Structure 1
Amino acid sequence: MLGKAELLEAIAPLNRGIRATAADRLMVEAAAVRLEERNPTAHPLTATPRLEGDWRLLYTTSRELLNLDRLPLASLGSIYQCIRLQEGRIYNVAEVAGPPLLSGLVAVAARLEPVSDRRVNVRFERGVLGLQNRLNYQSPSQFIATLTTTRRFSLLQGIDFPIQAERQSGWLEVTYLDDDLRISRGNQGSLFILRKG
């Protein structure tokens, strides 16, 4: 699909949006809108096999995520958004590369509440910050399995804290979904472009 190739080409050199200039953001926005107009999945929240799974972030305008790259002596690694529709949950997992044995992890867990066939309300409930080796991190799926069976990580593993859902909530709308690409928009005006797998 030409629109999809155009969008992927536009975001390829932008390091998930970290290197994006104002002109780059306008170009990506225009390419995303053109692709959204040809969304092959009219009701993404009912397309469970397509939507469910682990999605790697290719591009975003979210300052909250992009600012993770400003940590001292570290750089932002891969960021994943993992959707578990059956459980009504979503997990954001950001890998932070650092000096040997000091690579970190920032993860948040939230509850999903569908409000239409394209939009969900998101209520954040839990956050975890720590070193990957202390948390025995291997992959997003493995970590989520550990997270869901561990009531609370010890301080030796990392910082595990509750998030007040009333103060940390929003919505996410899926505006384009095919077998391996998803475009979503958030309540703060953020654009997210993700690839499955």
Structure 2
Amino acid sequence: MASLCSPPLSSIATTHRNLHFTTTTPPPPLPHFPLPTEHSSKLTSSSSSSSSALKWRTGVSFFPSLFTKKGKSSEEIKDELLDAIAPLDRGAAATPDDQQRIEQIARELEAANKIMEPLKSSFLNGKWELIYTTSSSILKTKRPKILRPNGKIYQAINADTLRAQNMETWPFFNQVTADLVPLNERKVAVKFDTFKIGGLIPIKAPDRARGELEITYLDEEIRVSRGDKGNLFILRMADPSYRVPV
């Protein structure tokens, strides 16, 4: 999902039937980060994003508001975003024009964000379904369709333990877990630790399996995140009761 994109399992375990969970070198789906309890002390108010990490934010205000300048509520923007995403096969079928339109709507939603410290929000907990991304390492669009993940992709996050988990379903059922280190109120460093091929065979993740993920919009239904490679991730809550296994 750094982004919370893990390195491709195909490149890590070619001896295990060329199975794959989402990225190339540095980290993935999922997707996934909070710390409402004792971990909240790990946040450093003095930390600030680098100028390169802030480039995408040009023209985007994070001042919370119920309505955008055009008078649209956040609920209306969400509906527009979900409608635009629906026919795009998680982004695999998106044209450059589609991507531009989704980017524009996502920025409108980010500008209407009301949760300024998402890492402290209980809304972050649970299992999220990845419904759109621009990450080619997740979509695998250069592969034949039969070799791409065709089932749902999930990202789960534990607020109290600062753990995350990416999960593929049909046909590969690969998984990866990660530790999250808060960098500021809405951004985490992601360090992947264990892959599971087919959900069964554990493989230790390489040291290069790292990334960053920034949560730019959050409510009880939708999460928008930006990865350190410039990719956009849009996720919808699937199961708020789910917790990442320790």
TM bracket, shorter-chain basis: 0.7 to 0.9
Q: Which residue of 1 aligns with 2:226?
A: 185
The structure with the largest strand share of the pair is 1
Give the counterpart of 2:152 among 62, 65, 78. 78
The residue matched to 1:96 in structure 2 has which SS?
coil
Match for 2:219: what amino acid? D
Aligned twin of 1:94 = 168
Q: 1:80·1:94 contact (CA, 8 Å) conserved in 2?
A: yes
Q: Which residue of 1 aligns with 2:138?
A: 65
Greater helix fraction, Structure 1 or Structure 2: 1
Secondary structure, counterpart of 2:229 in structure 1: coil
Structure 2 residue runs without a partner (length 5+): 1-74, 239-246
Alignment of 1:36-185 (within 5 A): 36-47=110-121, 49-67=122-140, 70=144, 72=146, 75-97=149-171, 104-130=172-198, 158-165=200-207, 167-185=208-226
Deviation per CA, 1:80-105: give whole Å up to 9, x if none: 000012121111101123xxxxxx31
Q: Distance in 1 between matches of 2:124 and 2:85?
A: 22
Gap regions ≥5 residues in structure 1: 98-103, 136-157
Instruction: List per-residue Cα deviations over 1:92-125 (Å, max 9, x = no partner).
Output: 101123xxxxxx3111111100110000000111
The two structures, once aligned, show a CA RMSD in angstroms of 1.6
AA at the equivalent of 2:108: R
TM-score by length of 1: 0.78
Identity of aligned residues (%): 40
Judging changes above 3 Å, is the alpha-carbon distance between structure 1 residues 73 and 116 closer, same or farther for their aligned structure 2 residues? closer
One-letter identity of the residue aligned with 2:80: E
Q: Which amino acid aligns with 1:109?
A: T
Structure 1: which 4+ aligned runs deviate by more than 3 Å? Answer: 68-75
Higher relative contact order, structure no. (Cα contacts within 8 Å, ≥ 6 residues apart)? 2
Counterpart amino acid of residue 158 in structure 2: R
SS at match of 1:16: helix
Q: Distance in 2 between matches of 1:74 and 1:62?
A: 13
